[in-house]
A and B are shown apart, each in its own frame.
Chain A
Amino acid sequence: MSAPDTSASEGSLEHFLKSVRPRMRTLFAHYRVPPQDTEDIVQQALLALLYQRQAIRDPEAWLMGTLRNKCLLYWREQRRKLYDAVDAAVLELMAEPMAPEQEGADVRRDLEMAIERLPERCRALLSLRYHQGYEPPELAERLGYSPTSISKTTNRCLAALTRELTMTGLGRRKTS
C-alpha cells in the first residue's frame, strides 16, 4: 500500500490525493452518501490527516478507515432523524383531542397493533411514552433503566416501531 509522505511538499500531497481519489469516489458511492453531504466529511478527514500525520503510519489506510467510519456516522445521524420524526408524529397524533372519525380510530389501532408486535421491553416503554406521555428520564425511573442508557434504549424501541410501522402499518396495510 502506498504511504506517501505528506510532509515533504505540496507535490507529494497532491500525489497522495490523486492516488486516493478513485477509492474515495468508490467509497462514497458505495455508502450512497449524497455528494453535497460528502464535502464536510472529506474536509474533516483530510484536515485531521494533515494535523496529526506524525502519528499516522499508513495515511491511505487511515484515511479510508476514517472516511468509512464517517459515512457510518452520517447514516446513523440520518436514521436518528427518521426515528425522531416517527416519535414526534406519533406523539402529535396521540395528543390530538379527538380522532377524525373512523380514520383516526384505524390509525390508533394500527399503532397499537404495531406496538403489540414489538418485544416486551419496547411494548412497556412505548406504551408509557405514548399513552401516558412519559419523558425519557421518567421512563428510566419507572422502568429501572439508568438515566444514561435510557436514550439508547428508547432509540432502539423507536427503531423497532419505525420498522414495524413502515413495513406493515404503512406499506402493507390494504388501503381503500
Chain B
Amino acid sequence: MSEHGGPAGADGCDGGRGHGTHGIPRATDARTTPPAPPAITATDVGWRQRHELGTLQGAGGGMERTAPTMAHLAAKGAPVPRPLDPALAIVQGEHLGKDVLWRFMTGGLSPAEMRHVFGHLLRGCPSCREQAREVWNITEQDQPLPAFLPIPATPAIVSDGPLDASRTAATERPEPAPAAGPGGPNETAYETVLDRVFSRIATEEAGIEAARRRADALFEELMQHPPARQQLLVQNSSRFRDRMLCERLLTASHDEGFREPARSEQLARIAVAVAERVADICPEAAVDSSSAAPSDTLAGMRARAWAQLGNALRIRSDLDGAAVAFRSAEALMAAHPRLGLLDKARIFDLKASLCKDRRHFAEAARLLDRVITIYQRLGQSNLTGRALTQKAALQFYAGDREDCMVLLRRALELIDPHEDPRCYLNARHNLIVALADDGKPREAFAMLFHARPLYLKMGDRMNLLRLRWLEGQVALGLHRLEQAETAFREVRGAYVELGLEYDVALVSLDLAMVFAQQGRATDMRRLAEEMLAFFESRQILPEAMAAFLVFCNAARVEQAGLALVQEVAAFLKQARHAPDLRFVPRC
C-alpha cells in the first residue's frame, strides 16, 4: 500500500482582533463606533425601559404591557436602547425585564450581571420568576425549554481535550438548528455587519498577497545558508519572524517528506523556530486562550509546526522523537480549544500516521474518524477522500481487506481526479493492490487496465515503477508467470539502482514466488545469493534481515517452497511498519 503524509492543513481562527498581526482593525472596535447611540445614563435607561419598552415593572407593580423585542424596534428603524443593567435594576429594587431575562438565558450579559440575575431568581422573587417562566416559555406540559435551544450542545469537534479520540463520527454530527425565541434577529439585520467586514477584507487581501511574496523572498534567502546558520538567523533576526514564512516552511517540509526526509526534518525545525519566535512577539498568543483571533491563529500555526516536525521525525523512523514533538502540538491544542478545524484535522491526521507506525491501529482509526468528520463538515470532499484512503491503508495493515476495499471505493467517489490526480491514483492503486492481495486477480486486472492511463499521465518514475510492479503481481495472481517474471525483474533492477533496499527485498521475494511456482530451484538459489550480497552491504532492519536469511538458507539447499517465500514476504510487508515484530518461521 502506498502512503502519503496527509493533506496540508489550513484554517484557524485567523486574526481579526487588534492591529498587531494583520493590520486589520479589531471588528469590535469598528462596530462600537459608527451608529453611536445617544449617551444614556442608567436613569435614562430605566426611564426608557419603563415608559417606552415596558420591559420593567416598578418595584410593586405588575406587568403593564407586553414588551416589544429589540428586533421589532430595529425593524421599525427605531433606536434600540441598551437594556437596563440588571445588576443596577436589582440594586434599585426593580425587577427584571423580558429582554434581560432572555439575554441572561443566552449568555448575553456580563458575568456580574449574569450572577446577579440568577441570584435574584434563585432567592425567589415571585414576579421575576413569573416573568422568567413567560419569557422562557415554560408551560405545564413537559415540552423542552426553548431557552436552552439557542445554545446547541457542544460539538465534539470543538472539544476541550486535544485528542479525545473516544468520540466517534456519530457523536460529531452537526447540531440541530436553534429554536426561535424573543428578540431573534432577521437576515437583514446582518447586512451592515457584512458590508463592514467585506470592505475590510478586500483591503486586507492586497496586504496578504504582499506578505506572501515577502515570505517567498525570505525563504529563498534563508535557503542560501547552511542549516545551523538558518537557525541562528531565525533566532536573532526579526526579519524572519514572519507568519507567512512559517507557512512556506511547513509546506516545503511536507513536500520534502516524499523526497528527502532529512531535509524535511531540517525545514520543520526551522518552521518551529519561526512559529515560536512569531508567538514571542505576540505574547497574547502564548498565554491568552480566551480571546478570539491572533491567539488561536498563532497557536494553530505553532501546533501545526510541531506536528510537522513530529511527522518528519516519524518518516525518519525516530518514533520517540516524533511522540515528543506531538506532545508539544497537543499541549497547544489543549491550551487553545478554539483552534481552527483544519488545523486540528491536520494535526490529527499526522498523529494518526504516527499511531499507525507504532501499530496503535485503533487509536489511529479513531483519529482518522475525527479527521474525516471535520473534512465532511467543512465540505472538503477531496480531503475526506484522502483521509479515507489513509484509513483504508490502516485496515489493510490490520488485515481487514474487505473494510479496506469499502473505504477505498468511498474515497474514489469523493476524490476529483482532475483536482487531485495523485491522490486519486493513490486510492486506485491501493484498491488494486488490495484486490490482488485478497485473491481477486481478475477484478484487479480489469481495474488496472482502466487505471493504466492515470499512471502514464502522472509520468514520474516512481509511479511507473509502481505500475510495473502491480502488473507483475496481478500477472502472478493470474498465473501468467512469464509476464510476472519480466515485470519483477525490471522493477527489481530499477529499485537496486535507486538504492531502495526494502523494496528490492519485497520485489525479489515476488520474483522468488514465480521461481517457486515453476520449480526453478537453481534460479531461486542464484537470486538468494545475489540479494544476500546486496543486503549485506546496506542497512536493513535486523528482523527483516533475519527473515530474509531464513529464505536464503532454504534456497541454498533448494528447500525454499512457495509457502516459505509467501510467509517471508508477508512478514517483510508487516515489519516495514512494525520494526519490533519478530519473525518465527512456520514452514
What residues make up the interface of A, taking CB atoms closer than 8 Å to B? 1, 6-7, 10, 13-14, 17, 21, 24-26, 28-36, 38-40, 42-58, 60-62, 64-66, 68-70, 72-73, 75-82, 84-86, 88-90, 92-93, 100, 103-104, 106-107, 110-111, 148-149, 151-152, 163, 165-167, 169-173, 175-176
Residues of chain B with a CB closer than 8 A to A7's CB:
209
Q: A40-B292, A48-B297, A89-B118 are in contact. Are A55 and B10 (CB under 8 A)?
A: yes
- Say yes or no: B205 contacts A10, CB within 8 Å: yes
Contact B8 A86 (CB under 8 A): no
Asked if B429 is an interface residue, CB under 8 A from chain A, the answer is no
A89 to B: closest C-beta gap in Å: 4
Complex: A76 Cα to B107 Cα, angstroms: 9
Q: Are B191 and A25 in contact (CB under 8 A)?
A: yes
* Of A13, A24, A38, A165, the contact of B202 (CB 8 Å cutoff): A13
Contacts A29-B187, A32-B184; is A48 near B12 (CB within 8 Å)?
yes
- How many residues of chain B get a CB closer than 8 Å to chain A's CBs? 103
Assess whether B338 is in contact with A73, with CB atoms less than 8 Å apart: yes
CA distance A46 to B297 in the complex (A): 13
Does B22 count as interface, using CB distance less than 8 angstroms? Answer: yes
- Interface membership of B288, Cβ < 8 A: no
Interchain CB contact (< 8 A) of B105 among A21, A45, A82, A84: A82
* A168 (CB) vs chain B CBs: closest residue: B138
For B186, what are the chain A residues with a Cβ–Cβ distance below 8 Å? Answer: 29
Chain B residues with CB under 8 Å of A84's CB are 111, 114
A7 vs B206: C-alpha distance when bound (angstroms):
10
Contact between B7 and A81 (Cβ–Cβ < 8 Å)? Answer: no
A-chain residues with CB within 8 Å of residue B133 when the two chains form the complex? 170-172
- Chain B's nearest CB lies how many Å from the CB of A131? 16
B36–chain A nearest beta-carbon distance, Å: 14
**Contact indicator B383/A57 (Cβ below 8 Å):** yes
**Which listed residue (A35, A60, A61, A75) contacts B152, Cβ 8 A?**
A75
Asked whether B185 lies within 8 Å of A35 as measured between CB atoms, the reply is yes
Q: In the complex, what residue of chain B is closest to A17 when comparing beta carbons?
A: B198
Q: Please tell me if the beta carbons of A65 and B114 are within 8 angstroms of each other in the complex.
A: no
B129 touches A166 (CB 8 A): no
Specify which chain A residues have a CB less than 8 angstroms from the CB of B310 in the assembled complex. Answer: none
Cβ-defined contact, B119 with A171, below 8 A? no
B156-164, B401-409, B468-476, B563-571 - interface stretch: B156-164
Contact, CB under 8 Å: A75 / B151: yes
Closest chain-B Cβ to A10's Cβ sits at a distance in Å of 6
Residue from the set A36, A38, A45, A85 with the largest chain B CB neighbour count within 10 Å:
A85
